[in-house]
Amino acid sequence: MQDRKNGRAAALPVAKELRCFCTSAGVDVGASAYLCNMEQLLQQIEEYKKEIAAFEAADDKQVEEFRIRFLGTKGLVKAVMGEMKQVPADQKKAFGQILNDFKLFAESRYESLREQTAATQGPAGSRIDLSLPGDPAPLGSRHPITLMRNRIVSIFQRLGFAVAEGPEIEDDWHNFGALNLPPHHPARDMQDTFYIQQNPDWVLRTHTSSVQIREMEKGKLPIRMLMPGRVYRNETVSARSHCFFHQVEGLYIDENVSFADLKQTLYFFVKEMYGKDVKVRFRPSYFPFTEPSAEMDVSCFICGGEGCNICKKTGWVEILGCGMVHPNVLQNCNIDPNKYTGFAFGMGIERPALLKYDVNDLRLFSENDVRFLKQFTSAI
Ligand code: 2U9
C-alpha cells in the first residue's frame, strides 16, 4: 500500500522492512552472507533518504508521522543503527559514518518540516480553538476624578444639560478676551497662566469657560451646556494645590433666564449631591465674566455644620462660583444681551473628590500609582 503523497509503503512495520537484510527467509545466514546484505542496506538507506527528502507535511499530525517512522524508538533510523553490531570490525568506522549521516539527515528534515508547518499553521492555526471563550480582560478601575466628574455631570444631565468639550491649548481671545478680560486686566494675574513659547497668543486654558465661548459663537440658542475638563495654572505643586486640575462649568442661555433659575438649578444639584438636609448659602463675589457674581457654600457635610477641620470651624464649605453671564460676554459672542440672559457656574472636581474618597494629598490623583487607583475598583 503506497502513501499517495509521499510515495512510501504506508503502514509497513519498520522492523519487518529491515529484517530482510539480516536474514534470508528468516534463517540466520552468518557474517559472510551479511556483507552482501550490507550493500542492500546501503541501497535501502539511499531509498530512505529519497523518501525523507520528498516527505511533505501539511500539518503537525503528518510531522509526527514522520518522526515516528524515522526517528521514533521503533523507527527506521534506530533500526538501521542496530545493524552496526553485524558489521565486520574493519568496516565499522566507514559504516558508522554513513549511519550517522543518515541519522542527521532525518533529524534535519524533521526540524525543517516542523518549522514549515509552524509557519503555515501559525499561532492562529489548528492548534487554537477559536470557539473557546476568550481570557477575561482584567477590569481596571475608574479614576476618582472621573468618578466625581460623572456624578456631577449626571445630575445636571437630568436637568437637560448637554456635555461639550474643547481644546486644552487656547488662544487669548477664547481664554480671556471674550470673557471680558482684555489685555492687562488685573484679573488675568489671578489665573497664573502658562503661555506657549512658540506663539504668544496661545495659552494652556486656565478654565473651561473657553469651551462655552466656542459654543456661544456657534450662534445656536438656547444653550444648556456642561463643560467638564482639565485646566492649567502655574502654581507650586503641593498636597493642596497643583499646576493642573479639573473643573465642571455650566452655562444656560435663553430668553428670561434669571438669578432665581440659577439658584434653583444649584439647589437641585446640592440636594442630589450632598443630600436633602444640606443647607445652602450664597455670598456676593466678583468674576469679570459674570454680573452679579456669587460663591455658593453648603453646610459642612463632614460635621453637619458643627465645625471641624474641613470647614475650618465655620460650619460651611465653599463648593462653587456662579453668576449671571456678563452682557459684554454675550455681546462678544454676537448674542443680543437685550434679548437673551444667562447664568453660569464653575466648580473644581479635586476638592469634592478629596473629601468623598478621604484622600489627603492632591498629588496622588496624578501619580498613577496602581496601589492608589486599585482602591476605587468597586466604586461606580
Ligand atoms: C461664560 C460666562 C461665565 C463660569 C464661572 C466661576 C464663577 C468660578 C471657579 C470655581 C472653582 C473656578 O475651578 S475653580 O477654581 N469658577 O468661580 N466660574 S462663574 O462663568 C462663566 C463661564 C463661561 C461664557
- pLDDT single digits (tens) 299-309: 988 888 888 88
Residues 102 and 168 in one domain: no
* Number of domain units in the chain: 2
pLDDT of residue 32: 46
Atom of ligand 1 nearest to the CA of 178: 24
- pLDDT single digits (tens) 99-123: 999 999 999 999 999 988 887 766 5
- Residue closest by Cα to atom 1 of ligand 1: 209
Ligand 1 centroid, distance to 230 Cα (angstroms):
13
Q: What is the span of the domain harbouring residue 54? A: 14-126
Residues 117 and 31 in one domain: yes
* Residue 14 pLDDT > 50: no
- Secondary structure of the chain in the HEC alphabet? CECCCCCCECCCCHHHHHHHHHEECCEECHHHHHHHHHHHHHHHHHHHHHHHHHCCCCCHHHHHHHHHHHHCCCCHHHHHHHHHHHCCHHHHHHHHHHHHHHHHHHHHHHHHHHHHHHHHHCCCCCCCCCCCCCCCCCCCCCCHHHHHHHHHHHHHHCCCCEECCCCCEEEHHHHCHHHCCCCCCHHHHHHCCCECCCCCCEEECCCCHHHHHHHHHCCCCCEEEEEEEEEECCCCCCCCCCCEEEEEEEEEEECCCCHHHHHHHHHHHHHHHHCCCCCEEEEEEEECCEEEEEEEEEECCCCCCCCCCCCCCCCEEEEEEEEEECHHHHHHCCCCCCCCEEEEEEEECHHHHHHHHCCCCHHHHHCCCHHHHHHHCCCC
Residue 8: inside a domain: no
Residues 150 and 299 in one domain: yes
Residues 285 and 332 in one domain: yes
Residues 152 and 113 in one domain: no
Atom of ligand 1 nearest to the CA of 333: 24
118 vs 190, more confident? 118
Ligand 1 centroid, distance to 209 Cα (angstroms):
7
Residues 154 and 118 in one domain: no
* Residue 258 pLDDT > 60: yes
Last residue of one domain, picked from the residues 91, 126, 161: 126
Residues 206 and 102 in one domain: no
Ligand 1 centroid, distance to 129 Cα (angstroms):
57
* Residue 191 pLDDT > 50: yes
- pLDDT single digits (tens) 259-299: 999 999 999 999 999 999 999 999 999 999 999 999 999 99
Distance, first Cα to last Cα, the chain: 69
Atom of ligand 1 nearest to the CA of 216: 24
Residues 209 and 330 in one domain: yes
Ligand 1 centroid, distance to 379 Cα (angstroms):
28
pTM (two decimals): 0.67
pLDDT of residue 40: 83
- Residue closest by Cα to atom 9 of ligand 1: 346
Which CATH number belongs to the domain containing residue 264 in this structure?
3.30.930.10
Ligand 1 centroid, distance to 321 Cα (angstroms):
6
Residues 60 and 209 in one domain: no
Residues 301 and 152 in one domain: yes
* Residue 2 pLDDT > 70: no
Instruction: Choose which residue among 208, 347, 350 to substitute to test ligand 1 binding: the one with the highest number of ligand atoms within 8 A of its C-beta.
Output: 347
Residue 139: inside a domain: no
Residues 159 and 73 in one domain: no
Ligand 1 centroid, distance to 251 Cα (angstroms):
9
Instruction: Choose which residue among 152, 170, 179, 207 to substitute to test ligand 1 binding: the one with the highest number of ligand atoms within 8 A of its C-beta.
Output: 207
Residue 135: inside a domain: no
- pLDDT single digits (tens) 41-88: 889 899 999 999 999 998 889 999 999 999 999 999 999 988 888 888
Residue 3: inside a domain: no
Ligand 1 centroid, distance to 41 Cα (angstroms):
96
Residue 2: inside a domain: no
Per-residue pLDDT band for 205 (boundaries 50, 70, 90) equals very high
pLDDT of residue 168: 97
Residues 158 and 122 in one domain: no
Residue 137: inside a domain: no
Residue 266: inside a domain: yes
* Residue 347 pLDDT > 70: yes
Residue 4: inside a domain: no
* Residue 36 pLDDT > 60: no
* Residue 324 pLDDT > 80: yes
